[in-house]
Chains A and B, each alone.
Chain A
């Protein structure tokens, strides 16, 4: 029964009893070691443990690396200033591989093995959605920095918060008035044919319509495409604004092919910086973007009117005036999003202080204290700007930046108001039991 010519069965093995025993012993050692360690009860001076669900590998790795840098910088500052409730903060990192299955496992590991107080820091929305049920079941507060509309949609659960970065629905709603007034009213949208793209599709169209504009065509691009030339002729000739959101490595090809398609006679371009995060705007092939506009959460390039808080934040995280690492000018940051980690940590600090948080037994109190927050003032804790928080949908609202590519830099030309990005909430987490 075992003799065969099947795949990978390459013949008689050279196993000896000694190697087998060694293997078994090593395996038993591996299985027994870490998880069975007894953890002592948290003492009052023991650190507050924050489980950081990081994208160290997988498609989110470029973001994950900068999320980690920002987090470490904020935690150092918090600890230098006395920690939270007099206790130091300790970050425990687990890699989720940017995978929703592993993400859920990692949340379980934080809650029941590392015994962290909370979980924090996830970016990619499929990992957030995949991990949310586990966080809810284990009743561990889960603070994400993802910008997806998932938290605000009311479809997750009471334990998930997004208090440090605005969501896509709010972002696209708030830029619509400026786009209609400055670039044009006839918009063609090009977006990735999956959930992130749908948030743009579903919420930008009504927002531009409210401004007297219209979406003349919507062109979804399947995620497996590596060339876009066949989609470009679908762009109607009367298009005034080409709204583009591309995520993934295809963006360089997309821009290059767009340049070849249009030549010098192009419509106005408005894009989301997401696909060019961690990518130098002066990379070969991106010349076509010169003069076009981008949404940015927080500006990548230092601006003339940067506040002292913004300057201090950039210095602490270690990015230069071009938004690249101060130690390596080629290492471009994910500046438009990573401020969210910084601000979320300060929200957590505030909520823990408000609730007198002592340990995991106070997690429900922490959830309620977070829900009770309403406003965050501009300053060292919120360098991107002031914000309002809606405790019912667990989502923060803030200012957005619209930047123009000029002279190889992104210069902010407009900053939206918080009200521009407000919408009618669709859910209320506070009605769910804790």
Chain B
């Protein structure tokens, strides 16, 4: 599908993006520096979503539960059991794995609209569960993870995740890990099978592939990436609350991915960043800023059907992964 020259170009682009993000650490004004750290974590959430939606063609309306599984998986042990940052992060990923595996095993028995509904119902169950166990989660109000708990002791030094530079670079590191993981997956044999499933599942099965196993793997990897974003959000920004498990946070990654370009590795970042600034800027002028977002989505459907990067790829940059 791609020659060696093209592969080099793809890797060079992705390395350049990461290098640019690292460089921005030194030049961005304070506000935008903080914003980008947050956007990078949310872009990882969008990348996890994109893996399933963009590459496998499975539209889930329940990804908030994976993000929230990471958020609570990391936040609750840190808050209640005094876990350190690293085990808490692992706890978040573990929670994402378990939830994704369980949901995948059940939800993948359906497809299309039924898959959307089933994932949404599971997410709703998850959301209500976070409220039900309000004794530990403080439900909608949520919990604050104190600054002193969000530090990693390394030998004699301390890595303080509440320090803006550390936080930003941690977010870049997480983003880079998720980006290259996604890139590796979509360029791998498994990734090709996923695309084949998206294009024609029956034919893929006829060719001898176990489509269920491949889809389940994709759901689990997608869930883990989203949970990593959720865990990082809790640890970097210090708040754990059930709003993040609500249906709104299942729709957002879909919008980010559609905006940036589904089935493009960098689209989720572009979409998340773009949407953040549209809301940030328009809310300064009108309280009807969601109307602006809505109008923008309509324009997107009319003229940029494949999202920003998807359209660029279609028109000029056919080599973009």
In the complex, whether B111 has a CB less than 8 A from a CB of chain A is no
In A95-118, which residues have CB < 8 Å from any B CB? 95, 97, 99-102, 104-105, 108-109, 112-113
In the complex, whether A132 has a CB less than 8 A from a CB of chain B is yes
User: Smallest CB–CB gap between A353 and chain B, Å?
Assistant: 29
In the complex, whether A34 has a CB less than 8 A from a CB of chain B is yes
The reply to whether A4 and B198 form a contact with Cβ atoms under 8 Å apart is: yes
In the complex, whether A157 has a CB less than 8 A from a CB of chain B is yes
| A8, A129, A150 pick with most chain B CB within 10 angstroms | A8
Residue of B nearest to A34 (CB): B281
In B123-175, which residues have CB < 8 Å from any A CB? 128, 131-132, 134, 138-147, 162
Residue of A nearest to B279 (CB): A102
In the complex, whether A206 has a CB less than 8 A from a CB of chain B is no
The reply to whether A150 and B274 form a contact with Cβ atoms under 8 Å apart is: no
In the complex, whether A284 has a CB less than 8 A from a CB of chain B is no
Give bound CA distance, A325 to B208, whole Å.
71
Contacts of B287 in A (CB 8 A): 56-57, 95
In the complex, whether B244 has a CB less than 8 A from a CB of chain A is yes
Contacting residue for B239 out of A104, A109, A112, A223, CB 8 A: A104
The reply to whether A9 and B305 form a contact with Cβ atoms under 8 Å apart is: yes
- In the complex with contacts A31-B277, A34-B281, A130-B306 CB distance below 8 A: no
In A29-58, which residues have CB < 8 Å from any B CB? 30-31, 33-36, 56-57
A interface footprint on B175-212 (CB within 8 Å = 1, 0 otherwise): 00000000000000000000100110000000000000
- In the complex with contacts A13-B304, A109-B280, A1-B31 CB distance below 8 A: no
User: Smallest CB–CB gap between A137 and chain B, Å?
Assistant: 5
In A1-40, which residues have CB < 8 Å from any B CB? 1-2, 4, 6-11, 13-15, 19-20, 27, 30-31, 33-36
Contacts of A20 in B (CB 8 A): 311, 315
The reply to whether B35 and A196 form a contact with Cβ atoms under 8 Å apart is: no
Residue of B nearest to A31 (CB): B277
Contacting residue for A133 out of B34, B131, B147, CB 8 A: B147
The reply to whether B303 and A196 form a contact with Cβ atoms under 8 Å apart is: no
Residue of A nearest to B313 (CB): A2
A interface footprint on B277-321 (CB within 8 Å = 1, 0 otherwise): 111110110010110000000000101111000110111000000
User: Smallest CB–CB gap between A214 and chain B, Å?
Assistant: 22
Give bound CA distance, A13 to B310, whole Å.
11
User: Smallest CB–CB gap between B298 and chain A, Å?
Assistant: 12
User: Smallest CB–CB gap between A322 and chain B, Å?
Assistant: 27
Residue of A nearest to B160 (CB): A137
In the complex, whether A75 has a CB less than 8 A from a CB of chain B is no
Contacts of B290 in A (CB 8 A): 57
- In the complex with contacts A57-B290, A94-B283, A6-B57 CB distance below 8 A: yes
Give bound CA distance, A54 to B306, whole Å.
36
In the complex, whether B5 has a CB less than 8 A from a CB of chain A is no
- In the complex with contacts A1-B263, A31-B277, A194-B134 CB distance below 8 A: yes
- In the complex with contacts A4-B198, A100-B239, A137-B162, A13-B31 CB distance below 8 A: no
Contacting residue for A194 out of B30, B141, B244, B305, CB 8 A: B141
In the complex, whether A415 has a CB less than 8 A from a CB of chain B is no
User: Smallest CB–CB gap between B37 and chain A, Å?
Assistant: 10
Give bound CA distance, A4 to B55, whole Å.
11
- In the complex with contacts A133-B145, A155-B144, A8-B305 CB distance below 8 A: yes
The reply to whether A195 and B140 form a contact with Cβ atoms under 8 Å apart is: yes
- In the complex with contacts A35-B32, A108-B34, A108-B35, A6-B198 CB distance below 8 A: yes
The reply to whether B146 and A130 form a contact with Cβ atoms under 8 Å apart is: no
The reply to whether B258 and A8 form a contact with Cβ atoms under 8 Å apart is: yes
User: Smallest CB–CB gap between A152 and chain B, Å?
Assistant: 13
In the complex, whether B59 has a CB less than 8 A from a CB of chain A is yes
In the complex, whether B241 has a CB less than 8 A from a CB of chain A is yes
Contacts of A7 in B (CB 8 A): 53, 57, 59
| A134, A194, A222, A223 pick with most chain B CB within 10 angstroms | A194
The reply to whether A133 and B280 form a contact with Cβ atoms under 8 Å apart is: no
User: Smallest CB–CB gap between B247 and chain A, Å?
Assistant: 11
Contacts of B38 in A (CB 8 A): 105
The reply to whether B195 and A101 form a contact with Cβ atoms under 8 Å apart is: no
The reply to whether A126 and B142 form a contact with Cβ atoms under 8 Å apart is: yes
Would you give 24 A-B contacts (Cβ < 8 Å), ordered by A? A1-B263, A6-B57, A6-B262, A8-B305, A9-B306, A13-B306, A15-B311, A30-B277, A30-B278, A30-B281, A57-B289, A95-B287, A99-B243, A100-B243, A125-B141, A157-B147, A193-B132, A194-B131, A194-B140, A195-B139, A195-B141, A198-B139, A223-B131, A224-B128
* Extra A-B contacts (13), CB below 8 Å, given A8-B262, A8-B301, A8-B305: A1-B195, A8-B258, A10-B301, A10-B305, A20-B311, A30-B278, A34-B284, A95-B289, A109-B280, A137-B147, A156-B144, A193-B134, A194-B134
